[in-house]
Structure 1
Amino acid sequence: IIEGVTVERIRTVDGRAVGVDTDQGPVDAEYVVTCAGMWSHELGRQAGVNVPLHACEHFYLVTEPVPDLPAGLPTLRDTDNCIYVKEDAGRLLVGAFEPVAKPFGAEGLPTDRPFMQLDEDWDHLAPVYEKACERVPILGEIGIRLFFNGPESFTPDDRYLLGETPELRNHFVATGFNSVGIQSAGGAGKVLAEWIVGGRPPMDLWDVDIRRMLPFQTNRRYLRDRSVEALGLLYAMHWPFRQVDTARGVRRSPFHDRLADLGACHGESGGWERPNWYAPKGVEPVYEYSYGRQNWFEHSAAEHRACREGAALFDQTSLAKLLVQGPDAAAVLNHISSADVDVEPGTSVYTTWLNDRGGIEADLTVNRLDDERFLVVTAFSTQVRDSDWMARNTPDGARATITDVTSGYSVLGVFGPDSRRVLSPLTDADLGNEAFPFGTLREIDISYARVIAVRRTYMGELGWELYIPTEFSLGVFDELWATGQPVGLMPAGMHAMNSLRIEKAYRHWGDDIADEDTPLEAGLSWGVAWDKPGGFIGREALIAQREAGLTRRLVQFRLDDPEPLLYGNEPILADGSLVGRITSGMYGHTVGAALGMGYVTHEPGTPRDEVIGGSFEITVNGERIPATASYRPFYDPTGDRIRA
């Protein structure tokens, strides 16, 4: 450990970090870990690495000694008033996480000292301190010895940044700790060391993995504007479906304004403005938060029913699209994919990508356009992660390239039993089941555009995803809406998509499946091509697990009481014993009850049917609710509707 040294830049050679330059000369290193707090963003930028964080001023006060104050008092957190109070050597320390914070360093950070105290700002802190005096009256009776104001770094989503950066190999970060650095330091240091030594994260760290961050999030203005809210969110109520208020409108699909005119209430995810639900005429498209049925519940239910009974239109532009092409593209993708994706052009394949332990690193679709071109479609949240995984597992010298074409295509989804009726007048393509079966794609004419139509579904109904070159998007939308609305086409949002997919038990990566869950445990072994030529990453681990037997299985649950809701993390009990937790939940409007999925642990070798043979309960808000368990979806378990 060498103190008093300024790191000026990270040294790189051939896409790898090889050391740092300092004001006292270069330092060579096999690995470089950036733990530079609020300076990490600029250090990363210089090396072409995205480290999205911004400093905010963080305030606390220390009082004069308080007579007879017991030592070791517990810390008091008053989240309604945005304060914490703790005993500090016979005094009281009062800190604040106010709702509207003060960004620091937008014009540049000082580099002449590692720690700093900023100017007092009583005007900013006074409203918070007045509330503190109401909660702890003695604060109004004793003097203040210290007013401390120091900067801390905050990330756009209030979760810290850990792991190897996708832009630069052998470069790791542990930074942006959002004021919980001391609390998290031991664990963060341990897993980071194990990650470096072992070459992979030692556990599921997706919540803090830097690969969740997107390239635009290095934008300084975005970081400054979001930091105003990020600090206060630490003490804000964590409502279900809560939306951020700052740095909005970053990424908009071409349809944004059209959908807003139709009543869309847009939510923000990964910078994307996505319609979460639609307000009917006379209703303001604004959230009213609660832990019960929120104000959009019935509106989303109507969208859900439109998809089940007629036709619904979804804006799916936020899907990430990666074009993989070259003479070796098929071989590269087939080795990474557990399914066989070396298929005929015009075929769309759902597949998982596994690590060497059999864990699911990604689930996505691989769409073969022709002999040498594939369109890989995944979620916006894993856009960087999945591209990075592909790049890491492409052999040196392979004749294959990866190009992110997300911005090149908008996507409209038309789903429901009437989707053919909506689309057929707009195209001369045969949309019949024999000519255009499930799991295929074709380039077709719609309006004046040529679009890639993919017959897949995340909603569990007949339908197509339409990949539209961006400049043609509005023309296609306008004709589609003009033709579809008279026959009952209805716009539907992300909440409806979630309720539709939960009825079909479609997994969601990051919740129901992740890098510690295998296809065998998750009930996805039907999509594994065990014997395809050349095998695939993770095959040996899956075979070993299959032979040894499972100790946990993903199960679907339906609450027997139609009133409670499920959001995730609710305890699962079998015959009174804790056996797991809900990984994701939503109300199933067709089924008429809240649905959820969760892994049920069991003894090795337990027969599959016996795992769900007991009496199940889900704990909701402290109350045990009887639940029905099933391996099969509660809606259309045979999948007939998607192949109609």
Structure 2
Amino acid sequence: MELPRQARVVIIGGGVSGCSVAYHLAKLGWTDVVLLERRRLTCGTTWHAAGLVGQLRGSQNMTRLAKYSADLYAGLEAETGVATGLRQVGSISVALTAERHEELLRQASLARAFDVEVAEIGPAEVKAMYPHLEVGDVVGAVHLPGDGQCDPANIAMALAKGARMRGARIAEGVKVTAVTQAGGRVTGVDWQAGETRGHIAAGMVVNCGGMWGRDLAASSGVSLPLHACEHFYLVTEPIAGLGHLPVLRVPDECAYYKSDAGKMMLGAFEPKAKPWGMAGIPEEFEFDALPEDFAHFEPILEMATARMPMFQTAGIHTFFNGPESFTPDDRYYLGEAPELGGYWVAAGYNSIGIVSSGGAGMALAQWMEDGVPPFDLWEVDIRRAQPFQRNRRYLRERVSETLGLLYADHWPNRQMATARGVRRSPIHEHLKARGAVFGEVAGWERANWFARDGQAAEYRYCWGKPNWFENQRAEHMAVREGVGLFDMTSFGKIRVEGPGALRFLQRLCANQIDVAAGRIVYTQMLNLRGGIESDLTVTRLSEAAFLLVVPGATLQRDLAWLRRHLGGDLAVITDVTAAEAVFCLMGPGSREVLARVSPDDLSNAAHPFGVAREIEIGMGLARAHRVSYVGELGWELYVSTDQAAHVFEALMEAAPELTLCGLHALDSCRIEKGFRHFGHDITDEDHVLEAGLGFAVREDKGDFIGREAVLRKRAAGLGRRLVQFLLEDPEAMLFHNEALVRDGRIIGVVSSGNYGHALGGAVGLGYVPCAGESAAEVLASAYEIEIAGRRVAATASLAPMYDPKAERMRM
């Protein structure tokens, strides 16, 4: 095929992901789409994928994408004439422990909330569906009849044919040698086919390079943190009378099973995986297998022969070891890279590439068409990746764990064990010496809770009240009744300064930013739909300098949003996160404690709520921000990192009653106050008014992004409201994604949950559809929350249940 000199987009990689992106762009009417595959279509990972199509994922939008994939694949054969091998045989997941059964029952509730057909079944029903299975130790199971399996290579070929039918060009044997760029944007690709070389000018490229994708991205200065791991399965000789059985998952034994063409496949997600390709993926790799390592697979096979005795007599036809790419958090990457305009990514599928790629290709194509994602995709957004995560040692260590986590118990608050300690606060060792038990977010080590003397400083996971429940309660109540200190150095900190800084921020922020120097403004940055792109505070430091404080996990996203919209405004955007530590001193006793180490006037008159000013503290200086995410009197103390240890020591020495608090207590305090958490309660899909944040919007200040959407929503009325719920049973626990029930009918899910120690029960937030209803009508209903199949009565409120008038923060 003769390649064009120009295209609207060039897709790099001809696995199922690249073929899906090409298909969906062509379906949108993009005729100048070019896909380049260095060898042959499907030759990397797609050809040896297991082809499992499971619809239920961990969130509503990921489930939406998986269901889209299943529906798409069901119609591809009729559309293209390529057999896809899709069979809707259903799936069964079995639990061998009470804890795993609890997880499966929670997943069943989630399936009902997401309109996925599901049934909880017992051992006898499992045996009836799967006669070959030993069920003597099976505690319970769930059955999803809509799940199935397919032929992965043919799915990709059908998508490729569908793309060609709509005008896309697909060329095999063409390697992209470079993505060219100028002025911070993609300009095209250089390619090579044998001895022939050329260039295609294009304003967009899509990296669908799979396990080659990381190094390809790095050559353009783009972070794409993924790493290949060895992935094992075996296929038996033909077994008489096997038939079409449901896909079977036995996660407690790290195994999955599927029947295909009269043979049985056994696949594994072993707890400690084998990273592969540490020196890069070989150039010549094509439809290749990796060396056998039967000893590594043997523990899985031993459990399988007991679980399914047919494996004791069936001969092994194939023992296969092939590479797949995994990411640091077991979620794939989608979207435009923040480092380079026009550089898009769809890669890193963590062994669920077949079920994911159909929906991911649709979503990415729509995103490229509209410039915004079709719905909230933060869970898989490339902007969540941290630059340091492209480090190969880090990736090698982390993916040895993440492969196995796919089938491990998905405990609430589960922490990664590998590749830890990369980003640390200046007082990390101080906190560790005082019993801190750390979690990790965006590479930052953060104290989640503090162990008492003699208590093991470690997590013991469960679905009920965890081993740190009383620690969290003590920290929580110290903030409510005394004084607590949180180390929040992980906050993202961005300086925006220059003669155009005010104008720029006024255009991006929904609240009024033109305030006096020293004022702190809580605001959101909105998109054109009124959805929330960022939730932040903006502090005016001087006439032309502002400090933006954002969650540590969203820093790269927020930087990308700011830089994308800078335009001609004369402003400089600088990430200053590492320059300052942040200590949050919170609680009714915080003023008294701060007064012991600072001679400055901390009264309401001198330092009211919403004001930042420099104070002396110990023998150093700090910028004290009077704000609160826990709903109590307090200050965020921003301290130069070189002085951070001294300031911490001064506070601890002056206030022996000071309680060190972790992020679990921070979260339980904020949810009692009904404060929103970005990524859970508020996303770019959630309208700022429906999220209950209209108080932070100033339509009368002039134009800003999202203003028209706010005006339209005010005129039309709210379609749903974010409501706070308190469980009436004090023993029940809420975490996230429990089904929300109104007057006996499931209407949604809990967006975030924690235990409200001052309120005496678990608290959750969730959206309630309410088109045409008043606030009183919303609250007049009877609410329950379904937890692992059991419905628990809940009290609903639109105002914060704790300190509804927010008087405590201002005292």
**TM-score for the superposition, normalised by structure 1:** 0.98
Which range moves more in the overlay, 614-623 or 370-379?
A: 614-623
Distance 1:141 1:461 in 2: 67
| 2:640 counterpart of 1:472 | no
The Cα offsets for residues 420-442 of structure 1, whole Å up to 9 and x where unpaired, read as 11111211211101100000000
Deviation at 1:67, TM superposition (A): 1.7
Distance 1:494 1:117 in 2: 45
The Cα offsets for residues 530-558 of structure 1, whole Å up to 9 and x where unpaired, read as 100x3211010111111111110011111
Deviation at 1:114, TM superposition (A): 3.7
The Cα offsets for residues 552-573 of structure 1, whole Å up to 9 and x where unpaired, read as 0011111112110111111222
Whether the 8 Å CA contact 2:215–2:280 is kept in 1: the answer is no
* Aligned counterpart, 1:170: 342
* Aligned counterpart, 1:586: 754
**1:438 aligned partner, one-letter code:** F
Q: 770, 783, 787: which one pairs with 1:620?
A: 787
**1:610 aligned partner, one-letter code:** E
Distance 2:314 2:683 in 1: 52
1:96-115 correspondence to structure 2 within 5 Å: 96-115=268-287
* Aligned counterpart, 2:552: 380
Q: 248, 252, 257: which one pairs with 1:76?
A: 248
Secondary structure of 2:203's match? coil
Whether the 8 Å CA contact 2:580–2:638 is kept in 1: the answer is yes
Distance 1:505 1:298 in 2: 22
* Aligned counterpart, 2:520: 348
Distance 1:113 1:425 in 2: 66
**2:689 aligned partner, one-letter code:** L
Secondary structure of 2:534's match? strand
Distance 1:114 1:40 in 2: 15
Q: 220, 239, 242: which one pairs with 2:414?
A: 242
* Aligned counterpart, 2:732: 564
1:182-261 correspondence to structure 2 within 5 Å: 182-261=354-433
Distance 1:55 1:561 in 2: 46
| 2:810 counterpart of 1:639 | no
Distance 1:267 1:319 in 2: 15
Distance 1:27 1:121 in 2: 43
The Cα offsets for residues 391-432 of structure 1, whole Å up to 9 and x where unpaired, read as 111123x21011000011111110000001111121121110
Deviation at 1:618, TM superposition (A): 1.2
* Aligned counterpart, 2:61: none
* Aligned counterpart, 2:679: 510
Q: What's the C-alpha RMSD, in Å, of the aligned pairs?
A: 1.0
1:203-602 correspondence to structure 2 within 5 Å: 203-396=375-568, 398-485=569-656, 488-532=657-701, 534-602=702-770
The Cα offsets for residues 17-60 of structure 1, whole Å up to 9 and x where unpaired, read as 12211223222223100000011100110100000000000111
Deviation at 1:472, TM superposition (A): 0.8
Distance 1:576 1:131 in 2: 42
Distance 2:765 2:280 in 1: 47
* Aligned counterpart, 1:181: 353
Secondary structure of 1:561's match? coil
Distance 1:540 1:259 in 2: 47
Distance 2:726 2:603 in 1: 35
**1:154 aligned partner, one-letter code:** F
Which range moves more in the overlay, 216-225 or 574-583?
A: 574-583
Deviation at 1:184, TM superposition (A): 0.9
Deviation at 1:578, TM superposition (A): 2.2
* Aligned counterpart, 1:12: 181
Secondary structure of 2:704's match? coil
* Aligned counterpart, 1:31: 204
Secondary structure of 1:11's match? strand
Distance 1:420 1:548 in 2: 45
The Cα offsets for residues 556-597 of structure 1, whole Å up to 9 and x where unpaired, read as 111112110111111222221222221111110001011111
Distance 1:33 1:186 in 2: 15
Distance 2:675 2:570 in 1: 34
**1:173 aligned partner, one-letter code:** V
Aligned residues: 638
Q: 190, 205, 224: which one pairs with 1:51?
A: 224
Secondary structure of 1:407's match? helix
Distance 1:116 1:10 in 2: 27
Distance 1:626 1:74 in 2: 36
Which range moves more in the overlay, 20-29 or 465-474?
A: 20-29
| 2:171 counterpart of 1:2 | yes
**1:318 aligned partner, one-letter code:** S
Which range moves more in the overlay, 145-154 or 614-623?
A: 614-623
Deviation at 1:283, TM superposition (A): 0.2
Secondary structure of 1:84's match? strand
| 2:743 counterpart of 1:605 | no
Secondary structure of 2:542's match? coil
Distance 2:537 2:334 in 1: 28
Secondary structure of 1:544's match? helix
Q: Structure 1 unaligned runs (5+)?
A: none
Distance 1:131 1:393 in 2: 55
Deviation at 1:6, TM superposition (A): 1.5
Distance 2:647 2:700 in 1: 43
* Identity percentage of aligned residues: 52
